[in-house]
Structure 1
Amino acid sequence: MFFLMICHHNDGPEIGALRDKLRPEHRDWVASGGNGLAVVLTGSALWDETGAGIGNFGILQAESEAQARAFAEGDPFAKGGVVRDITLTRLADSFRAERIDPLSKT
């Protein structure tokens, strides 16, 4: 199954520094698919109109919504306090994943 994951980040002057600190761990988590919980097909940061980071998104492939949620909630950004909320939405079965070069190398 495929899911759209949207993570909104907390506000505050300390969040940018925390995000920068956790970014290497976050990237390792994405590359490993959360140690095999999900394959991250694509993703990126979300910015507001000023270019400030406000979140991130990803398209995930997982066996279940529970696995996709475990991936999202296990991310160092989520565990470290950067993420305020996570939304997962299942994509249609007709989603054409073969058009995307996955970010996870599992």
Structure 2
Amino acid sequence: MQFVIQCEDIPNGLELRMATRPAHMDYLKAQDAHVLGAGPFLNDQDQMVGSLLIVDFPSEAEARVFAENDPYAKAGLFAATSVRRWRWGVKPPAVV
């Protein structure tokens, strides 16, 4: 099952994001089998202000645990996080 995880950074969270980014990237690489796509939201100054992840897990509970264990989440970077079930509609990757 695919899920979209949408995260909004706390105000002025760029410094915390950058300090935590290496651990976040290592986490995503370690979870490579579950991560179908990921990237940051950007503001008008091209600064990262949030995250979007498309993941594949057997259940929503497992997708939520994945989101909660992200180093960004553990560091308190996110003001809000949502996890929603989702399905590819156009141009799904070959692995889905």
Secondary structure of 2:20's counterpart equals helix
Structure with greater helix percent: 1
Map of 1:80 onto structure 2: 75
* TM-score normalized with structure 1 length: 0.79
After superposition, the CA RMSD in angstroms is: 2.2
Unmatched 5+ stretches in structure 1 = 101-106
Aligned to 2:15: 17
Q: How far does the alpha carbon of each residue in 1:33-90 deviate from its partner, in whole angstroms, 9 at most, with x for none?
A: 1xx8x71111101012222221010110001000000001110100101111111111
Q: Which amino acid aligns with 2:75?
A: G
Q: Which residue of 2 aligns with 1:5?
A: 5
Paired residue total: 95
How far off its partner does 1:92 sit?
2.8
TM-score by length of 2: 0.86
- Tell me, yes or no, if structure 1 residue 89 matches structure 2 residue 84: yes
> What is the Cα deviation at residue 99 of structure 1?
6.2
Instruction: Tell me the distance in 2 between the aligned counterparts of 1:47 and 1:94.
Output: 24
Where 1:63 maps in the other structure, the secondary structure is coil
15-24 or 55-64, larger mean C-alpha shift: 15-24
* Structure 2: tracts of 5 or more residues without a match: none
Q: Secondary structure at the match of 1:70?
A: helix
Q: Which runs of 4+ in 1 moved over 6 A?
A: none
